[in-house]
Structure 1
Amino acid sequence: MKFDRVRLANFKPYGDTDLRLTEGVTVIHGLNGSGKSSLLEACFFALYGSKALDGTLEDVITNGEEETEVELWFTHDGVPYRVERRLKSYDGRIDHQCTLESTDESDVTRDGARAVREFVTELLRMDAEAFVNCAYVRQGEVNKLINATPRERQDTIDDLLQLGKLEEYRDRAGDARLGVEDVLENRRGRLDQLDEQIAAKEDRDLHGRLNELESELAEVADEIDRYETQREQAKETRETAAETLSTHAEKREKLEAVETEIDEIEAAIRSAERERDDHRDAIRESRERIDEIEAAIDERLDDAGLDAASEEAIAERRAELDDREAEIREDLDEERVNAEALRNQATNLAGKSDDRVERAGEVEEEADDLAEEAEAAADEADERESSIAGLREEAETLRERFAAADADVDRDGVGDERERLRERRGEVRERIAELSTELKNARERVEEAEELLAAGKCPECGQPVEDSPHASGIDDDRERVAELETELESARERESDLDDRIAELNELAAAADRLDEIDERVETLEGRVEEKRAEAERKRDAAAEKRERAAELREEAEETREVAAEKREEAEGAAERVTELEESLSAIDDARGAVTEIEEHLSAIADAEDEIERRREKRESLTEVNDERRDRLADKRERRDELADAVDEDAVEKAKERKEDAEQYLEEVAGELDSLDERRTELQNAIGGVKGEIRELEELREEREALGERVRSLENLHEETSELESMYGDLRAELRQRNVTELERTLNETFDLVYGNDAYSHIELDGEYVLTVYQKNGEPLDPEQLSGGERALFNLSLRCAIYRLLSEGIEGAAPTPPLILDEPTVFLDAGHVSRLVRLVEEMRGFGVAQIVIVSHDDELVGAADELVTVEKDPRSNRSTVRREDAAELDVAELADD
Structure 2
Amino acid sequence: MRFDRLRLRNFKPYADTDLRLSEGVTVIHGLNGSGKSSLLEACFFALYGSKALDGTLADVVTNGAEEAEVELWFTHDGRSYHVRRELKRYGDQIQTTTCTLESDDGDVHRDGATDVRGFVSDLLRMDAEAFVNCAYVRQGEVNKLINATPTERQDMIDDLLQLGTLEEYRERAGDARLGVEDVLSERRGALSNLDEQVEAKEGKDLHDTLNSLRSDLSDLDAKIENYEDQKASAESTREEAREVLDEQEERREELETLESEIADLEETIREDEAERERLGDRVADLRDRIEELEATLSDRLDGVAVDDADPETIAARRERLDEREDEIREELREVRSQADAYATQSENLAEKAEEAESRAAEKRERAAELEDDAEEAAETLAEREEQLSKLQAEREAKRAAFDDAPVDVGEASAHRDSVSADLDDVRAEIRETSNELAAARSSVEEAEDLLSEGKCPECGQPVENSPHVDALEADRERVADLEADLSDLNDREAELEAKLERAEALAEAENRLAQIEDTRDLLADGIAEKEAELEEKRERAERLREEAEELAADAEEKRDHADRQAEKAAETRETVADLEADLSDLEDARDRLDAVESTREAIEDAEDEVDRLAEKRADIADRNEERREFLASKRSRRDELREAVDEEAVESARERLANAEDYIEKVTDALASLRERRDDLTSRIGAVENEIEELESLRERRDALAARVEELEALHGETEELEAMYGDLRAELRRANVESLERMLNETFELVYGNDAYSHIELDGEYELTVYQKDGEPLDPEQLSGGERALFNLSLRCAIYRLLAEGIEGAAPTPPLILDEPTVFLDSGHVSRLADLVEEMRGFGVRQILIVSHDDELVGAADDLVRVEKDPTSNRSTVERADDPSLAAVAGEFGDPERADD
Question: What is the TM-score with the length of structure 2 in the denominator?
Answer: 0.49
